[in-house]
Structure formats: structure tokens, C-alpha cells
Structure 1
Amino acid sequence: MRLLVTALAPSHLLCMVPTAWAARAAGHEVLVVGRAEVARAARRAGLPAAELTETPATAGTGADTGLAGGPAGGPDPGLPRMERVLTEAQRQSFAGRVWPAGGHPWQVRVGRVVDGFLAVARQWRPDLILCDPIEFTGLVVGAVTGVPVVVQRWGGPDSMSAEAITRARAVLAEAAAALGAADGIPAPALTLDPCPPSLRLDTSTEVESVRFVPYNGPQQLPPWARTKPSWPRVCVTFGLFGSRAAMSGADFIEGGDLAARFDAVIEALRPWAGLDVVLTVPEAVQPLLRPVPDRFRIVAHAPLDALLATCDAAVHHGGTGTAMTACARGVPQLLLPPPHPALADCAAGLVRRGVGRALEGAAQTDPLALRSALDALLGEGEGADAGSRGHARVLAEEIAAQPSPADLVPLLAELA
């Protein structure tokens, strides 16, 4: 089997890396295709990658993109009307839908990369495409080439991806037909869902369960993180989502300044003696933080899976990768999601399942509100919530009981 893997962003690719490596370990060929940052993430994971270049908005057709390290492939027949078609379809099908700031205008973006993606697919000739739920180029390319498409969800509670795929099939139908998919875009041949059944928000879509296997990229584990301390340890992280905001200089995707969020958590935890605190802070943000006590550890990068194995609680933004890594480790969570539908979904699902608490709005940067929530989560103070730890352990056991990515490779090969 030849498996072509694609994702919209590096954070979306990470949850698919175990599936890709399961296929590789079983003797199948795997190639990741995506924008430069996705290709870099794939190479850091030890996977071969084909890097796509987005065509500027003013250009007519897609980029001349070939396999990385090989000859460039020519563009497919032109679609000078692609962006107009997609923009019009967006206005018709997404009236009233407010997409978050910082998100991609994905309908137009498909038109900017589809020619290069098709060039790679026609040159490499995959038997199966594995794609992120909102990397709709995979659906289009599968329809045009007749290759079945498997969608792998991110792993956390999610109500938007099924709706987004349904709408994307309608929005992109004309563009796909212009590329040669006369019958439009079929539904995914299979949907893999690493979200444990008790945590799922969407129960209407037929899915194949797969275990969430944490992969957070190649990072060095500090010596102090190899063993659990004798006192509670809390990890505070805003993941790749926060790092991207820091690098762009933007507010935390409409959720306020990233440094202010870290400072609020620091102030909440500063008076708490006998608590080990680990903060994963992007290098660009570290100089902006207030001084911290010696018992606070600040690192730019850490292998989250290994780090959370020694933690008693996690404070984060509601990102699926962070949330599900904590779930797999049985760690209770305090969620501070910015106003983003995917992050809000994840936070709501974890609270409903009883494995965490969430703060919204101004409470997210209120040290007193943060301290109270963490008191309860760690089982101290008034309103102590020892139940969160029990629910988190049960959820970790449920995750471990799901079929591994290796168990599902024969199913993927049969589908291919």
C-alpha cells in the first residue's frame, strides 16, 4: 500500500504520525504532502515529505510543485475561476457562519495548493489518502484521482469537523468537477476517531475507533522530568497554538495577550508552597514574563507526553493534542480556551466528562479565579474535586483499551 498523508497544520499532523508509522512498520510506503511547515514536521518525525508552495491569490493556477528532492511536476490544467468559484460558494453556503480570526480562508486556500497536490498524487500514485478533517484538498484530490480517502480526527471532543466536511463537499463540488471529478466529492471512505467513545460529542457519524497515541514531536526530556516529585506538579502550556500566536506577534487568537495569560497563572500559583510548576513558554514570550520563584521551571520545549507522566494537573488552552495527551496520562485539566470553536468544543467535552474544569472570559486571567479552580482540581481547599482525578484515571483506561494504530493497518490496506 502507498499511503499519502496530508494535514492543514503541523499540530494536525502530529496526531496522525502514529498511524503513519504503524503503516511504515508494517512495510507500507508513506509520503506526507503539505505546506512547508507541515513538511518540516513530517521530516522531524522521520517521514518523507513533499513540500507544497501556495500560489498567491492573484495567480491563476496552482504552483509548479514536485516531490521533495525530485523533479518538479508541471501544473495541472488551469482553473482561473477557482478562487471566484470558491468565494461565491462560501458566501452562499456559509452565510452567518463566523470563522475565528487566525483561521485560514480554506475554500480559497484549496485553490492555491490543489494543482501542486494533484501533481504529487499523479506522480507518486497513492493507493489511499489519509487526511486531517479540515484539509479538504485531500478530499478533492481523492475525488479527482479516484483514490479512497480516510479522514482521521484530531482525537478530542469535536462537533465541527463532521459539519465542516459536509459543507466542504458542497462548497468544493464545482471546483472538483472542473478538475475532472464529474460526480463531485464522495464522503470519506472511512473516518478514524481517536476520541474515546465516552468523550465524543458527535455520535451521528459512523467511525472506526483508534487509540490516541500521544506524539508531541522530537524533544529532549530534562533530567528533572524523568521522575515524579514527592509534591504535586502542575504543567502550564498553551501548545503550538500559543507558540504560533507568539511568533506572529498577535493576540492569543482573540483571547488576549499570551504573556498576560502566563503571568496570571504564575500569580495564582506563586503563594502555593510545596508545588512544582512547569511552564512551557515560547522563547519570544519568556522575556515578557514577570520574575518567577526558583521552584518554577520555564522551558521553551518539552516532550509533553513524558512530562505529563509526572504531573498532577495540566493548565492549557483546550488544544486537542494537549488535552488528549493529558487524558491518555490520566491527568486532570484546567482549561482556558480562547474563543475558537474547536477549543471551546474540547473544553466543553472534558468538563462534561468530569476530567477537568474550564474558565471563560476575564476569569482566565484572574489569579484568584485560577487559584480557586486549581485548588479544587488538586483536591485542596473548599470545593475540592477529587472526582476529577478518578474520572481522569478511568478515561485513561478507556483510551488504552481502544485498538492501536497498528491494529487498524490491515483495515487500511484492505480499503486501499
Structure 2
Amino acid sequence: MRVLFVSLSEKSHLYCMTPLAWALTVAGHEVRVASSPRLTEAITRTGLTALPVGRDHDIYRDMTAYRDSQDYKTANWSRCEPGQVDWSELRERYELSVPYAFAVYNDSMIDDLAAFAQSWRPDLVVRDPLAYSGAIAARISGAAHARLMWCEDVWGRTRRTFLELMESVPEAERVDPLADWLTSRSEPFGFSCDEEMLHGEATIVSLPGSLQRLPGQSRELAMRHIPYNGDAVVWDWLRESPKRPRVCLSLGSSNTEDYGGDYVSVPDILEALADEDLEVVAALLPAQRERLGEVPANARVVDSVALHTLLPTCSAIIHHGGYGTYATALVNGVPQLILSTSVSDHEMRGESLRDSGAGVYLHHREAGAEEVLGQVRRMIAEPGFTDCAERLRAESAAMPSPHELVPVLERMVANR
């Protein structure tokens, strides 16, 4: 069958898709991966076939200009249940998110993607939950349609809460920015927005069941997270067991590349841990390294290490809350200290991990050097953190692999 993956122009989102795209490829299916042109090189470096569509957008300029937007109330999608939010707050969330995020990511891709879907006729579309352009392509081609999650389904649960709350609002005051936008983009092709377009026929989830707080809005298909971090080398220093507890410090790439900098200080954290009997491995981008001063004697700074090669040797990780880092630590049974903003589902993700006993979640404004030091000491000294992390690792390992999901998707297409 022909399978079209649609990703936002974010490497971390693409990397969550890569193992399933390869599982379908080696099963004999034709696979194409569509995104904005800026992601083309990242796609081709995975070995998959890229489909550049539309033009590049300028959302990153706005992200850098409005760094605090990650902590705006409207950016926190973790609060999505009735009782946590009211109608006016959700309306404002959609009124800001649709034109300034969803539309910016998707609008430039729609026409090219639609034309490709009409000519190539995919049998299955697997899309990022925010790649609504993929939903349009699926409807145009009559393809089966699944979302692949890199997060809790806060988008689907928010939508459900929004519709429930809208029923209590006078009809004259009812607005639906998401449906109105997607309908305006779909009408040229002869249809309008409906809930299946928003949620897909199926939702592929990689979180272990004990960490999921939200019910799915479409049929759920479980798939174990397989870490993919781009270029990977097992360096010689990784082939020997560390002589002291090893702690990884990784703040990812998106905040530095998209928002103009990290939300916590790498030098402050390294200094706070300098006198501990630890080996700290700081996996940093070149731009992050440039901001460093003198590196403490117990720290190793690296910029070319894939986390799935490093984390099996670690006793703990300090990171920014990104899903790729979070899930890679999860499947390796590593306790996590998350220092994050409240954007997207980060708050819910961090609180779920905290409640599982496998880590600690702090908002970045609470993450002073002394607090970080104290939490790292706890995670190293208290075996409960490792025990709980190992339990989550085992739960994740019991989930179906991408290879095992392939026949499920084949049946979904055949049944359609």
C-alpha cells in the first residue's frame, strides 16, 4: 500500500515517526514523508523519501520574539478537562492558536499536499496531531487516517471539552475557530471540517498505559517508543562502565533553535553539581557550548552523542521536557528531572512522571541551582526512583513494536 506521513517542520516530531515509517517500508509498502521544505534534509538523512510541500514559514521568528509565549496560559494545553478551564479560556486558546500556530504550520502545505494526494492516492495517511493538512490529504484521497502522538492527546480532549462547554453558551456567542479555519481550507476541495478529520480514525500512542491521563478521541493503537536521534555513534568512552554515577544534562534543540535560548542555565547547573561525586555528561548544541565558561572537573561536554547511546549508562537525566528525550529516558529506565515550560502537554507529562515515582517535575522558574542539586541528590540516593523507572521501562517494552503495528494498519486499510 501507499503510506503518506505528514509532519510539522520539527525534527523532534519527525523522529517520533521514523521507526514506524521504516517498519512500513521494510514490510514492502511505499512510504513518503511530507513536510515544509526546511525539513527535507532531516527527512532524507533518516533514509526515507522526502516530499517537500509548500514553502517555509516564519513561525520561528515569532517564537524568538515572544519567548515567554511558552508560559502563556493559552499555550498550556494540559488544562483541558471540565472544571480546569471555562468556555472563555478555551475560546481564547483557539482564537490565538489557530491563526498564530496551526495555520502558520499548515496553510502553506495544503495546496501542494492536496495535489500530491490527488495524484498519488495514498491508502493510509499517518500524521502529526497538529498537521491538519494531512487530514485534508486523507479526505481528498479517501485514505485511512491515523494520528501518531508525541504527547498526551490534549488536543482531542480540549476539543471535546470545548464542544461540551459550547452547549451552555448562548447561540449568538458560539464560535468555533478551529472548525471554521479547517472548513475554509477544505471547502475548495468539496468538503468541510468534521470531528473525524480532527481526530482521525485511529490514534497511535506510545505512552505506557500507567502514564496516560486522557482517554483517546478515536480508536487507540499502542506502539512502543523506539528512540531515533538522527546520526548516532557509540563513542569509545561509552563502551566502559562509568566509575561514578553518571548524570546526563540535555536541554534539547528546539528551545535553542526555535526560541533563541534555553529556559534554564547550563553553567549554573554544572556549577551546582561541581562538588558532587558524579560524572555529569552535558549533551549540548554548539550554540549552547558557546555560552559556557569554565567546565567543572566532573563534567564532560559533548555535542555529537545520540541519547539512546548515552542513557543506558546513566543513573539520572536532567532535561527540558521534550517528548523525544522524555521517552528515550523512559524506555531506558532512567529517572528524570524535568525542568520545563508549561507549553503543550508538558505540565501533564511532568506531573504524570512525578506521580509514577520515576522522576521530578519542576517549572523552569522553580529550577534554581540549589533546587536542582537537591533533586539530583534525591534521585541518586533513593532507590525508589530507579525502581519506578524500571517498572515503566518494562511496561513500555511490553507494548507492540512498530513492526507489530504494521499488520494492524494493513487491516485498517483493508477494512476501509
Indicate whether the TM-score tops 0.5. yes
Q: Say if 2:42 is the partner of 1:46.
A: no
Tell me how far 1:214 sits from its aligned partner.
1.1
Give the counterpart of 2:148 among 143, 152, 161.
152
Alpha-carbon displacement from aligned partner over 1:77-136 (angstroms, at most 9, x marks no partner):
xxxxxxxxxxxxxxx9953218999x9521344222100111222232211101111111
Give runs of aligned pairs for residues 9-158 of structure 1, distance below 5 A.
9-54=10-55, 95-97=91-93, 105-154=101-150, 156=151, 158=152
| Structure 1 residue 268 corresponds to structure 2 residue 281 | no
Choose between structure 1 and 2: higher helix proportion: 2
Deviation at 1:25, TM superposition (A): 1.1
Residue 213 of structure 1 and its aligned partner are, at CA, apart by: 1.0
How far 1:185 moved relative to its partner? 5.9
Shift in CA distance, 109/42, structure 1 to aligned 2, threshold 3 Å: closer
The answer to whether the 8 A contact 2:280-2:299 is kept is yes
Query: Are residues 1:322 and 2:325 paired?
Result: yes
> Structure 2, unaligned stretches of length 5 or more?
59-87, 163-177
Contact 1:173 1:185 in 2 (8 A): no
Matched, 1:294 2:304: no
After the TM superposition, which residues 291-370 of structure 1 pair with which residues of structure 2 at under 5 Å, given as runs? 291-364=294-367, 366-370=368-372
SS in 1 for 2:106: helix
Structure 1 gaps, min length 5: 58-91, 380-384
Distance 1:345 1:410, change over 3 A: same
The whole-number CA distance in structure 2 between the counterparts of 1:159 and 1:23 is: 24
| 1:220 aligned onto 2:233 | yes
2: CA distance, partners of 1:52 / 1:183: 22
Q: Indicate the SS of the match to 1:239.
A: coil
Is the 1:31–1:48 contact (alpha carbons within 8 Å) kept by the matching residues of 2? Answer: yes
Which letter maps to 2:29?
H
* Residue 190 (structure 1) shift: 1.1
Q: Structure 2 CA distance, aligned partners of 1:172 and 1:374? A: 45
Q: Is the CA contact (8 Å cut-off) linking 1:93 and 1:171 kept in structure 2?
A: no
Tell me, in whole angstroms, the C-alpha distance in 2 between the residues paired with 1:55 and 1:231. Answer: 46
Deviation of 1:240 after TM superposition, in Å, equals 2.5
Contact 1:140 1:185 in 2 (8 A): no
Higher mean displacement: 370-379 or 103-112: 103-112
How far did residue 294 of structure 1 move?
3.5
Distance 1:55 1:238, change over 3 A: closer
Aligned residue in 2 for 1:390: 387
Count of residue pairs the alignment pairs up? 364
Name the residue aligned to 1:195.
207
> What's the counterpart of residue 176 of structure 1?
186
Check whether the contact 1:177–1:184 (CA below 8 A) recurs between aligned residues. Answer: no
Stretch of structure 1 that moved more, 10-19 or 226-235: 226-235
Determine if contact 2:156/2:216 at 8 Å carries over to the other structure.
Answer: no
**Cα distance, 1:204–1:117 mapped onto 2, change above 3 Å:** closer
d(CA) in 2 for partners of 1:56, 1:352: 38
Q: Judge conservation of contact 2:334–2:390 (CA < 8 Å) in 1.
A: yes
State the distance in 1 between where 2:89 and 2:319 align.
Answer: 33
Deviation larger for 168-177 or 282-291: 168-177
Alpha-carbon distance change, 203 to 55 in structure 1, aligned in 2, over 3 angstroms: closer
CA distance in 1, matches of 2:354, 2:207: 15
Partner AA of 2:271 in structure 1:
E
Contact between 1:53 and 1:116, CA under 8 Å: does it hold in 2? yes
Q: Which residue of 2 aligns with 1:161?
A: 155
What is the Cα deviation at residue 38 of structure 1?
Answer: 2.6
| Stretch deviating more after TM superposition (389-398 or 186-195) | 186-195
1:414 to 397, 411, 414: 411
> Quick check: 1:7–1:38 contact (8 Å CA) kept in 2?
no
TM-score normalised by structure 2 residue count = 0.81
Question: C-alpha offsets along residues 313-372 of structure 1, whole Å, 9 cap, x if unaligned?
Answer: 0000111110010010000000100231322222112112111012224331x2111110
| Partner of residue 166, structure 2 | none
Q: Distance in 2 between matches of 1:363 and 1:164?
A: 27
- Partners in 2 of 1:326 and 1:162 — Cα distance? 26
Q: Is the 8 A contact 1:100 1:340 kept in 2?
A: no
2:211 and 2:96 map into 1 onto residues whose CA distance is 24
Secondary structure of the structure 2 residue equivalent to 1:285: helix
The Cα of 1:31 is off from its aligned counterpart by: 0.6
- 1:237 partnered with 2:250: yes
**SS of match in other structure, 1:207:** strand
3-state SS of paired residue (1:38): helix
Q: CA deviation at 1:14?
A: 0.7
For the 8 Å contact 1:24–1:30, the answer to whether it is kept is: yes
1:75 matched residue in structure 2: none
Taking a change above 3 Å as real, the CA distance of residues 185 and 360 of structure 1, as seen in their structure-2 partners, is closer
Which residue does the alignment assign to 1:83? none
Matched to 1:402, the amino acid is M
Q: CA deviation at 1:54?
A: 2.4
